[in-house]
Structure 1
Amino acid sequence: MNIYGSTISLLERGLNFSSAKGKVIAQNIANVDTPNYKAKSVSFKELLHESSSSSLRAYRTNELHLDFTSNVSTNGIKSLDFRYRHNGNGVDMEKEQADLAANQIYYNALVDRLNGKFNTLQNVIKGGR
């Protein structure tokens, strides 16, 4: 029996995704002047398939419906083949800064929601006092 429900584990997965995305963005920004560096990105879809392909099953009403199985073996990070500079560097600094800001807002929202869940649990434990 899981007394916390699935919400906390889903929030944890969201925080893991946001953390991985933040690390990739930081690597891209750190290598903005590195010749021939290819920018990387994190794919939520691939991370979702990796983390839940074994536990997530499709409700199939017909045997012809597809199941949610995936053979993805990466960690969700892929290199982009764009070149923004003459030295072969593929980092667009404006895009990286925008992605960093959006990721920070997403991370803060998840943390606020997780704090709300813990405060609710604490309230229940104290008996509503």
Structure 2
Amino acid sequence: MSISFESALGIHESALRVRGQRASVLADNLANVDTPNYKARDIDFKAMLAGKMEQAGRFNMHTTSAGHISGAGMALDDAGTMYRVPSQPSIDGNTVEDQIEHAEYMKNALAFQASFTFLNSKFKGLTAAIRGE
């Protein structure tokens, strides 16, 4: 009997990927806090994850030999990014608010760590099941 990682891990692999994408967007915002006319962006985690789960945007990898292993990947795009509306806009047109970005980044980092810890425990459980422990 084979183990299906997709059924064993469920939504958590996609959640970890979306959290990573959100961390990248928030880090871009923090890096551009002093850039004139930079518009702060964010990802709606719930909407993006729902889209990843029902999205037919998976692509099959093309194999050139019968000995190659086929696989599937997930297309990454900026479709889920939105612009953040500032509570106090800057005179230079920059919409990044340092304190809000830090708070959102930390919340996302904690959620990322929780997802990672959950996946780690799932893999430990699968390893124990394979070993018969």
Q: Same fold (TM over 0.5)?
A: yes
2:79 equivalent to 1:99: no
Q: 1:28–1:109: structure 2 CA closer, same or farther, 3 Å change rule?
A: same
Paired amino acid for 2:80: G
Inter-partner Cα distance in structure 1 for 2:104 and 2:8: 25
Corresponding position of 1:59: none
Aligned counterpart in structure 1 of residue 116 of structure 2, from 100, 111, 114: 111
Number of residue pairs matched by the alignment? 111
Judge conservation of contact 2:48–2:80 (CA < 8 Å) in 1: yes
AA aligned to 1:12 is E
**Structure 1 equivalent of residue 53 of structure 2:** 52
Instruction: Give 1:35 shift.
Output: 0.7
* Deviation at residue 6 of structure 1 after TM alignment: 2.9
Q: Which residue number corresponds to residue 76 of structure 1?
A: 80
For 1:24-79, what per-residue CA distance to the aligned partner results, in whole angstroms no more than 9, with x for missing partners?
Answer: 10110011001111100101233134223357xxxxxxxxxxxxxxxxx9621012
What is the root-mean-square deviation in Å for CA atoms of aligned residues?
2.2
CA distance in 2, matches of 1:95, 1:7: 36
CA shift for structure 1 position 9:
3.8
2:47 alignment partner AA = E
| 1:1-129 aligned within 5 A | 3-4=4-5, 6-54=7-55, 75-82=79-86, 84-128=89-133
> TM-score normalized by structure 2?
0.73
The TM-score normalised by the length of structure 1 is 0.75
Q: Give % identity.
A: 31
Structure 1: how far apart are the matches of 2:103 and 2:117? 21
Matched letter for residue 28 of structure 1 = N
Q: Would you say the 8 A contact 2:89–2:95 is kept in 1?
A: yes
**In the alignment, residue 125 of structure 1 is paired with which amino acid?**
I
Which stretches in structure 1 are left out of the alignment for 5+ residues? Answer: 56-72
CA distance in structure 2 between the aligned counterparts of 1:26 and 1:33, rounded to whole angstroms: 13
CA gap of 1:45–1:124, structure 2 versus 1, over 3 A, is closer
Structure 1 residue matching 2:82: 3-state secondary structure? strand
Cα distance in 1 for partners of 2:111, 2:55 equals 26
Amino acid at match of 2:42: S
Q: CA deviation at 1:127?
A: 1.1
